[in-house]
Amino acid sequence: MRKQIAAANWKMNLTYQQAEKLIDDLLALPHQLNDNQQAIFAVPFPYLQMVANRLAGKQNVFVAAQNCSNKKSGAYTGETSLEILQSIGVNHVVIGHSERREYFNENNQLLAEKVDICLSNNATPIFCCGEPLSVREANEQDAFVAKQLQESLYHLSAEDIQKVVIAYEPIWAIGTGKTATSQQAQDIQAFIRKQIATQYNDAVANNISILYGGSVKASNAKEIFSQADVDGGLVGGASLIAEEFNTIINSLK
């Protein structure tokens, strides 16, 4: 049974003290996650341990890194390996966010390697995909996203691909305040699921959580999450405000 997930992506925001306050404020607010639901916090590397400590013992709540190296270990100055992350209890990693693709030249091949490193160590990759505005305007988003999935995920076994969380994030909706309509999100996420069903089978496709990301906020989360193929959201800006993100958690199906 696939999970419904509210994932916060703090990006490169907040000082340590602000981060402590945000997580404490959030945890003090009322939310209930059943076993079908999860909240995940993708936070800057220096805050992972602090957030992990705050979340210890809580059910269905996890800390995530925003990136990891495609290398196992060694002389890669400035990189952080999955092994390093796991040694402080981090078992979820956002892979291939559009900002990493755009500003740090991460391509589908490199992301396939990062997905592999996660899965071979039993960590959960939250794999991001999504098209830029020019592609949406040409109505070529389906083919664009299909290629991202093909090149980064379809080498996986049927068993392994079910361990990936997919986040569909149209780049034109990230941080712009311009949300895809819930119908646009549903259409392409149904397409993604159908592609996976064709590549693998229906049972595999139905077992994979597909999140929507791009200007999700408290006021639109319920409507977006109500769509059949939207299993929650990856949330940037609105995850920096405790009440906003708590409402988003409480909007999960």
Q: Which residues bind ligand PGA (CB under 6 A)?
A: 9, 169, 174-175, 213-216, 234-238
| Catalytic residue (one of 92, 97, 99, 106) | 97
Q: Rounded distance, CA 207 to CA 210, Å?
A: 10
Cite the DSSP H helix spans in 174-241. Answer: 182-199, 202-206, 218-225
CB of 24 to ligand PGA, least distance (A): 22
For ligand PGA, give the closer residue by CB, 200 or 232. Answer: 232
Angstrom CA distances, 23 to 46, 83, 243, stand at 14, 25, 11
In angstroms, what is the minimal distance from the CB of 13 to ligand PGA? Answer: 10
Which pair of structure tokens corresponds to residue 58? 């809580």
Mark whether 97 is an active-site residue. yes
Element (H, E) at 39: strand 37-42
> Smaller CB distance to ligand PGA: residue 168 or 200?
168
Question: Which residues have CB under 8 Å from 188's CB, separation 6+?
Answer: 141, 142, 145, 168, 170
Q: Give the whole-angstrom CA distance, residue 128 versus residue 26.
A: 25
Cα–Cα distance between 83 and 96 in angstroms, integer?
Answer: 19
Whose Cβ is closer to ligand PGA: residue 9's or residue 227's? Answer: 9
Please, what is the minimum distance in Å from the beta carbon of residue 36 to ligand PGA?
Answer: 22
Q: How far is the CB of 98 from ligand PGA (least distance, A)?
A: 7
Q: 165 or 200, CB closer to ligand PGA?
A: 165
If you count them, how many residues does the chain have? 253
Residue 151: active-site member: no
Among all residues, whose Cβ is closest to ligand PGA? Answer: 236
Active-site residues, by number, are: 97, 169
